[in-house]
């Protein structure tokens, strides 16, 4: 894998700065690795510099290399996944080795401290170094196994209607494509013990056309560049809210770019923007409905706000990755921290009464079940179609089981 130099921006965002030519990964693949597996992505260069590698790493790497060779005999794509996933015992033993490494290697320890401080694992940040590396590794390893299980084996994801595999799992042509991809990556893998299954996840996502997490990135340099610059000049005391959040609503018809009810949510947000409630509108929603739609909810809502309602483009921030109401809130909280907006100032959600009732009711248990935390420290219904909430830094925690929007 490439040696990388990264820095953490805000509480959870990684910026790609420089890469050596050790491995030919595209910028898209770099982003997918950074967003889905930040711990392994940042750990790999340090592992390359170890004078003495833990015996566990050597053993695991040999096992995976042998399994990759044996996989040439696989008759289905699922066979590749089954042989190249980490077993529960391996995950535990690797965690033990990492814990020992962080305690005995000063450079690794410094790296871990950098990752813990304002990084993408806030739920683990208060743990000891040894416990932190165990939990960060476990999260990334489970993510690797999850992607291989869904996009090679054809297991059912949490939301099969929008996130499932693109092929029949027993399709011989799909099997051949996986085999060709594995053979190709075997030529380029680094000596990191996790290299083969980690890079196979990229191949699985590529074959399935599932690069949603990398689209539009880096947001603050591309679609949101103008808003990002403008945010530095805002007099925040002049506004009761940091942003007005409009959750997306995906149409079910293939040729419809913007659902009419989504447009109505934008109408309501525009009224509040003109009333001076906040200096920005965040439109949140990715390529969600229908399955593998080419249209992004956030992009289409911004077009409507700017071209039809004449809201200034620099006042509209797109959040083009969220796939659920829970992540509409989580990802908007991330934007607040990334843009260094005042995090103690509430976000105003503007939506329809039905979704607003859900946000203040059933969503609470769902967000804890799916994310393991709430992306807000306080939330309150203001009106039938308005809710306000205070962003929580827990929102920066990556979700290794949501590879299309980790």
Structure tokens at 279: 């200096």
Question: pLDDT above 90 covers what percent of the chain?
Answer: 88
- pLDDT tens per residue, range 235-288: 999 999 999 999 999 998 888 999 999 999 999 999 999 999 999 999 999 999
pLDDT value of position 169? 81
Q: Are strands 347-350 and 13-19 parallel, antiparallel or unpaired?
A: unpaired
**Residue 233: how many other CB atoms lie within 10 Å:** 7
396 DSSP 8-state letter: G
pLDDT range class, residue 361, cuts 50, 70, 90: very high
pTM across the whole model: 0.93
The residues near 1 (Cβ < 8 Å, ≥ 6 apart) are 22, 23, 25, 44, 189, 190, 192, 195, 198, 199
Nearest-angstrom CA–CA distance, 196 and 182: 8
275 DSSP 8-state letter: T
Beta strands in 316-365 (DSSP E): 316-319, 347-350
Nearest-angstrom CA–CA distance, 78 and 275: 55
Alpha-carbon distances, residue 327 vs 86, 119, 159, 205 (angstroms): 28, 18, 14, 21
Nearest-angstrom CA–CA distance, 377 and 267: 28
**Domains of the chain, first to last:** 4-213 (no CATH), 218-396 (3.40.50.620)
- pLDDT tens per residue, range 320-340: 999 999 999 999 999 999 999
- pLDDT tens per residue, range 5-63: 444 444 554 444 334 334 568 899 999 999 999 999 999 999 988 989 999 999 999 99
Structure tokens at 208: 């399935």
Q: Looking up tokens 């566990």, which residue turns up?
A: 56
End-to-end CA distance of the chain: 21
- pLDDT tens per residue, range 152-206: 999 999 999 999 999 998 899 999 999 999 999 988 767 899 999 999 999 999 9
pLDDT > 50? residue 305: yes
Give the 3-state secondary structure of residue 259. coil
Question: pLDDT above 70 covers what percent of the chain?
Answer: 94
Backbone dihedral angles phi then psi of residue 99, each to the nearest 5 degrees: -60, -45
Mean pLDDT, the chain, integer:
93
- pLDDT tens per residue, range 86-110: 999 999 999 999 999 999 999 999 9
User: Which one, of 302, 391, 399, lies nearest residue 340 by Cα?
Assistant: 391
Q: How many residues does the chain have?
A: 406
Burial of 260 (0-12, 13-18, 19+ CB in 10 A): exposed
């Amino acid at each position: 894998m490439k040696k990388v130099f990264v820095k953490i921006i805000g509480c959870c965002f990684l910026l790609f700065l420089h890469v050596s030519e050790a491995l030919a990964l595209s910028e898209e693949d770099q982003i997918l690795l950074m967003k889905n597996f930040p711990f392994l992505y940042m750990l790999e260069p340090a592992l390359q510099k170890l004078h003495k590698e833990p015996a566990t790493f050597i053993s695991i790497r040999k096992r995976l290399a042998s399994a990759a060779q044996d996989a040439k005999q696989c008759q289905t794509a699922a066979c590749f996944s089954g042989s190249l996933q980490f077993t529960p015992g391996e995950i535990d033993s690797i965690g033990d080795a990492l814990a020992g490494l962080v305690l005995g290697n000063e450079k690794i320890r410094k790296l871990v401290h950098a990752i813990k401080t304002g990084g993408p694992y806030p739920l683990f940040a208060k743990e000891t170094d040894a416990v932190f590396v165990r939990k960060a590794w476990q999260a990334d390893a489970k993510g690797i196994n999850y992607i291989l299980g869904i996009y090679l084996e054809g297991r059912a994801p949490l939301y099969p209607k929008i996130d499932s595999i693109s092929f029949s799992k027993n399709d011989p042509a799909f099997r051949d494509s996986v085999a060709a991809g594995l053979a190709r990556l075997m030529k380029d893998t680094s000596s990191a013990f996790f290299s083969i299954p980690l890079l196979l996840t990229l191949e699985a996502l590529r074959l399935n056309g599932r690069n949603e997490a990398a689209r539009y990135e880096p947001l603050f340099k591309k679609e949101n560049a103008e808003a990002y610059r403008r945010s530095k000049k805002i007099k925040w005391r002049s506004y009761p809210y940091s942003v007005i959040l409009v959750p997306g609503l995906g149409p079910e018809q293939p040729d419809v770019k913007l659902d009419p009810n989504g447009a109505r949510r934008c109408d309501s947000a525009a009224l509040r923007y003109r009333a001076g409630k906040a200096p920005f509108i965040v439109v949140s929603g990715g390529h969600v409905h229908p399955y593998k739609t080419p249209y992004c909810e956030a992009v289409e809502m911004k077009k409507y706000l700017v071209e039809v309602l004449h809201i200034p483009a620099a006042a509209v921030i797109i959040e083009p990755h969220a796939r659920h109401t829970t992540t509409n809130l989580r990802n908007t909280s991330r934007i607040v921290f990334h843009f260094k907006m005042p995090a103690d100032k509430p976000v105003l959600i503007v939506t329809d009464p039905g979704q607003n009732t859900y946000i203040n009711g059933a969503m609470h248990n769902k967000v804890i079940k799916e994310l393991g935390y709430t992306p807000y420290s306080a939330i309150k219904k203001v009106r039938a179609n308005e809710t306000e909430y205070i962003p929580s830094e827990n929102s920066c925690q990556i979700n290794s089981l949501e590879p299309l929007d980790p």
